[in-house]
Structure 1
Amino acid sequence: MAAVAGKKGMTVWTIAFRPLFLAASLWSVLALAVWVLVLTQGLALPSRFAPIDWHVHEMLFGFIPAAIAGFLLTAIPNWTGRAPVRGLPLIGLVTLWVAGRIACFSSALLPVWMGVAVDSVFLLALGLVVTREIVLAGNYRNLIMPVPIAVLLIANILTHLEALGVQVPSGVGRRLGITAVVFLMSVIAGRIIPAFTRNWLMMRKAEKLPSAAGRFDAVAVATLALGLLGWVFFPASIASGAILLAAAALNGVRLLRWRGFATTAEPLLAILHVGYFWIVVGAALLGASILGDHVPEPAAIHALTAGAMGTMVLAVMSRVSLGHTGRMLHADAITTTAYAAITLATLTRIAAACLPSLYAPLISLSGVLWIASFGIFVAYYGPMLLAPRTDRLR
């Protein structure tokens, strides 16, 4: 019996999505709860980051990288044919991520260099692991994947340096971090969304299928990257705003080519299209905020972060968790409720940026809805992540 219990306890360390999706969702709930308490109760944090900067940092460089790592380290074995990262190496990666979260929260109590160093090791290790797996398999077409991780690492270090008072351009770290994540999402989305949609529609004998990837997709992604990089280094440039509006139009067409409106019967699939839609909205709002005063920049940023990142992470985590634990790829009422909550959280957060007189109640409501969406994931999907595959129990 002891041996069986030990094997069951090790299930979580057999593949990366299990511990890293659980860690990402738990931290998403906890970090947002802390942020709501900071806003409403004036909670003080023992961090060198100002409270708003800690919130941004832990969403962008804490929550998101854990989800990215869980996805990439689960997908790479399918791309390379190599065994997945598991056991002690996986435990080591998760430990590094946890250490980073502790270091950032308590950085005011630590030597100056320690918070930066400890929080940087996870992304460095992840980038090296991803590169190693791809190179050893000779799977060079996927060498693009470590690039956004490296950029995210640089962006993370820049945010730490700014918090320490080093003279770096204001906000460049967070802008670069957002750009790295949005670029990675746009590349991965182009692989999984049309493929999943095509398979689902073919099963239903649909006549119109998603368009195949081609030069148009490459132009759309490149334009988006160019516009976002312009925003990173020249945030007030008219050219950056114009390119972002062009990128929004191109990526809107790209999304339409994936036939998302035909997937409304299956929320597990439709939510992926919704996640990419937020990239389109975010790019459009960001371009508009640069070119005029009618759109506040925080509205655009939260369309890209709470909207695109939050929705895509929740969508991918739920789909991967179901598929890789041997369950049916279908979003039931509980999962659909989580999707609705993240959508409403995004809408209320954007509304808070646009309606200053209602900022306090709207931002609190948005936080509660975000906590609800990822809290549902923890409660409903957590047991799946800890248990063996169901198809191996039959």
Structure 2
Amino acid sequence: MTRLSRLALFSYGFRPFFLLAALFAAAVIPLWLAVWAGHAAIAGPFGPRDWHIHEMLFGYVPAVLTGFLFTAIPNWTGRMPRRGLPLVALSGLWLLARLAVAGVIALPAWAVMALDLSFLLAVAAIALIEIVAGRNWRNLAVIVPVGLMAAANATFHVEAMTRGAADIGIRAGFACTLFLILLIGGRIVPSFTRNWLSRQGPGALPAPFGRFDRLALLASAAVLTLWSFAPGLPGLSAAFAGLAGLHLVRLARWRGWRCGRAPILWTLHIAYLFLPLGFAALALGAPVAGLHLLGIGAIGGMTLAVMMRASMGHTGRPLQAGGLLTAAFLLLCAAAVTRAVLPDQGFGAIGGLALSGTLWTLAFTGFLLKVGPWLTLPSVARRQPSPAPPPRN
């Protein structure tokens, strides 16, 4: 345990799980493209479409969420972070679940479900223990979305076993993940922006969290819940149009246009912008475009931006995106737009799906090239400003 704790990779929660998430994101989409083109096959409990959706919602996202939570909780509670053997065990559990879902490990469908669900349940249990031990009661609510993700995942598995394909589980997985971004993003984006803008001189600052934000979150929870269970409900298109307007206004209140010189900030604002764009596409009756704007742009963009910033901050690097990471984020945005507006086939031999998948893979490859070494090596000491020389007599 002591030796494992000394390894940089298992010294903090964000390290193994951000690395696993990025490696998975860079590898699984090329595999999906091969499956879609008929060059490969998946032998697990899901059909090709469901496997692709499941692994992005319940494979990639939980890895990023775990890295985020296991890094934030020690800050909330003042306790030492989980390190060493617990992180090794959780990482192994996540990997085993991915292999089982892909059919690499041959298990009956119910066993795959049990293995897959055990990861999120273990994460929720550890988070609960840490928050209770630290008496950090106000953040106890973070357990709820993790539990809802597990419930959506269970629904996905049960539908696949009983009906042959998932339906409610897909929308519920999207709804849980999107609400997490609305909730967490709505806290960190204006907070980071305010901190940076306050050092830049006079000017408008982001509006503090208030009644408007509560209204936007309550409306989002209601609409996403209705969409999960009754997607054909009359008036749902109008409700999504209303959500798009609400979140455009919410984003404008954070003064993102003043962050042009700080890519580490405007990436967060652009990622959030994909939420109202996706909601607008759903309102216009374009579910494929809407779900990919939300899935690639909002979920992929926000998780990539958060992993970039957290990795810099917690490994001692300056909070500066630099050329490679900025390009990686822009490639991801291009992947979202390409998938939303181009047909699957029709760009010569390359369709929108293949082009989007290639851009996504390049984005996470760029992240791995830059941030991957930071996650596996010890943190660097931040440079302290040199003391001013004593005045001369």
Q: How far has the Cα of 1:357 moved from its partner?
A: 4.8
Q: How far has the Cα of 1:144 moved from its partner?
A: 2.3
Give SS of 2:278's match. helix
Q: How far has the Cα of 1:98 moved from its partner?
A: 0.8
2:70 is the alignment partner of 1:73: yes
Correspondence for 1:198:
194
In 1, Cα distance between equivalents of 2:357 and 2:105 = 26
2:81 is the alignment partner of 1:91: no
Please list the CA deviations of residues 27-72 of structure 1 after superposition, one character each: whole Å capped at 9, or x if unmatched: 1111101001112343111112111111111111001110011011
Correspondence for 2:214:
218
Task: Assess if the C-alpha contact under 8 Å between 1:61 and 1:156 holds in 2.
Answer: yes
**Unaligned stretches of 5+ in structure 1?**
290-295
Moved more, 110-119 or 304-313: 110-119
Q: How far has the Cα of 1:102 moved from its partner?
A: 0.8
Q: How far has the Cα of 1:105 moved from its partner?
A: 0.6
Q: How far has the Cα of 1:337 moved from its partner?
A: 0.8
Moved more, 265-274 or 40-49: 40-49
Correspondence for 1:232:
228
Correspondence for 1:32:
29
Task: Assess if the C-alpha contact under 8 Å between 1:145 and 1:184 holds in 2.
Answer: no
Correspondence for 2:248:
252
Q: How far has the Cα of 1:245 moved from its partner?
A: 1.6
Q: How far has the Cα of 1:167 moved from its partner?
A: 8.3
Computed over aligned residues only, the root mean square deviation of the Cα atoms, in angstroms, reads: 2.1
TM-score, normalised to structure 1, is 0.92
Identity across the alignment (%): 40
Q: How far has the Cα of 1:9 moved from its partner?
A: 6.5
More helix by share: 1
The equivalences for 1:169-208 within 5 A come to 171-208=167-204
Task: Assess if the C-alpha contact under 8 Å between 2:99 and 2:105 holds in 1.
Answer: no
2:362 is the alignment partner of 1:365: no
Q: How far has the Cα of 1:237 moved from its partner?
A: 1.2
2:266 is the alignment partner of 1:270: yes
Q: Aligned pairs, how many? A: 382
Task: Assess if the C-alpha contact under 8 Å between 2:339 and 2:353 holds in 1.
Answer: yes
Moved more, 150-159 or 7-16: 7-16
Q: Of the candidates 44, 55, 72, which is equivalent to residue 47 of structure 1?
A: 44
Moved more, 78-87 or 175-184: 78-87
In 2, Cα distance between equivalents of 1:78 and 1:309 = 24
Specify the code of the residue in structure 1 equivalent to 2:93. L
Correspondence for 2:388:
none
Specify the code of the residue in structure 2 equivalent to 1:178. F
**Unaligned stretches of 5+ in structure 2?**
385-393
Give SS of 1:135's match. helix
Specify the code of the residue in structure 2 equivalent to 1:129. I
Specify the code of the residue in structure 2 equivalent to 1:380. K
Q: Of the candidates 363, 371, 388, which is equivalent to residue 378 of structure 2?
A: 388
Q: Of the candidates 324, 328, 331, which is equivalent to residue 321 of structure 2?
A: 331
Q: How far has the Cα of 1:136 moved from its partner?
A: 2.1
In 2, Cα distance between equivalents of 1:277 and 1:271 = 10
Correspondence for 1:20:
17
CA 1:210–1:73 in 2, change beyond 3 Å: closer, same or farther? same
In 1, Cα distance between equivalents of 2:15 and 2:94 = 14
Q: Of the candidates 140, 149, 152, which is equivalent to residue 143 of structure 1?
A: 140
Give SS of 1:165's match. helix
CA 1:356–1:235 in 2, change beyond 3 Å: closer, same or farther? farther
Correspondence for 1:314:
304
Correspondence for 1:10:
7
